[in-house]
Structure 1
Amino acid sequence: MFRNFTYVLLAAVALVAGVMLYQLSSSSAEPKLALVYPQPRALADFNLTDQHGETVNRERLYGKWTLAFVGYTYCPDICPLTLAKLAGLQPELAKLVEQPLNVWFVSVDPKRDTIAQLNSYVSYFEQANVLGMTAGHDQLFPFVRQLGLMYALSSTTEEDYLVDHSASVVLINPQGQLVAMFKPPMQPGELPVIDAEQLLADFPLVLAKLNAS
């Protein structure tokens, strides 16, 4: 009888150890293409204008999660692909958080991206949670820099110019703090565009790390 009790006890210990090991491995899983900041980064106030002509400032971030990236509507590849992927992922990502989740497309080409142009571009995706916005460079430069992103304008006088910009997507929490960055895979000869499947896989891991910190 004592031997049977010992077997049961050992089995119970093994089961508990297995559960603890699984929980430990799950909680320590690292996102593959996402960087989670050790401490949330507070954003200074900013003043942009959205596709509806309404002011966008820091208060618009409160109470919701926000995925933001920079680009421009005349971008031939990275921007439309990124926006299409984020718009498509939004319903699935929104299920993973309690608060609403929005997507911000920040145009860094205010010369061509008028309010009407932005509205036409963003409305194509038929996604109410996707918002386009822009501003003068006096507002854009510091705001984009705060996000840990960048852009650079060409000095050409041609109308059909390109704008260099980051391809990463940042995550802002409901307190208006920058907490993570999702990076595109960098493959020779391929566009640096966010991998939708990898972002969907990394997102809950990012949330777990944020909850554990």
Structure 2
Amino acid sequence: MKTAVIVFPGSNCDSDMFYAIKDGLGEDVSYVWHTETTLDDYDAIMIPGGFSYGDYLRSGAIARFSNIMPAVVKAAKAGKPILGVCNGFQVLLEAGLLPGAMLRNKELKFICQTTPLVVENNNTIFTKEYEDNEVIQVPIAHGEGNYFCDGRTLQQLEENNQVVFKYHSKNPNGSVADIAGIINEQGNVLGMMPHPERAVDDILGNKDGLRLFQSILKHWRESHAAVTS
């Protein structure tokens, strides 16, 4: 599996994502600068966290217009796995690849801590290595992670099983319905505020995030085997 890690000016979690793929999975991974215009050679796309373009206007609002984004949209339509974490989630929202928007945290403070999550849907290409309703520990680090959508959108997300992760026991940022991560209707685009790439090795505290990347790899291998068989 060949993976692209998109890098915008202000990205600061790109190295974490890169090594989650390189060392955690042992797979081929490359940094792709925001000025590039194609992702055709890649099997999976990662949009990491950070402060793209300084978070001016809104988080992810300027990155959404980068040269690389039409290629991200093309990859999404083609069914390739796309993961946006933290600022990457915000970029996906701004690009219209996921519904909803991000608000400032309810306490108007930056939060950096390990947070328990519930795996609400383990029947996705990102979560098949988890148990249904499993509680995992994943770090968060954000100031604008308060996910919001209107009532109709929330109903659609819940009816379509698009809510993948929820905060467990305590909502740290005020997100509607405790939402920590959602997928698109097609099921190949995941946005989440917690950082699974920071939980892929025992030296980081735990490996609960590694199974998310293992799930993507398993899906790719199964899909690739089906095509070549």
Is the pair's TM-score, using the shorter chain for normalization, greater than 0.5?
Answer: no
| Higher relative contact order structure (alpha carbons within 8 Å, sequence separation ≥ 6) | 1
Query: Which TM-score applies when normalising by structure 2?
Result: 0.27
Whichever structure has more helix as a proportion of its residues is: 1
- Which has the higher Rg, Structure 1 or Structure 2? 1
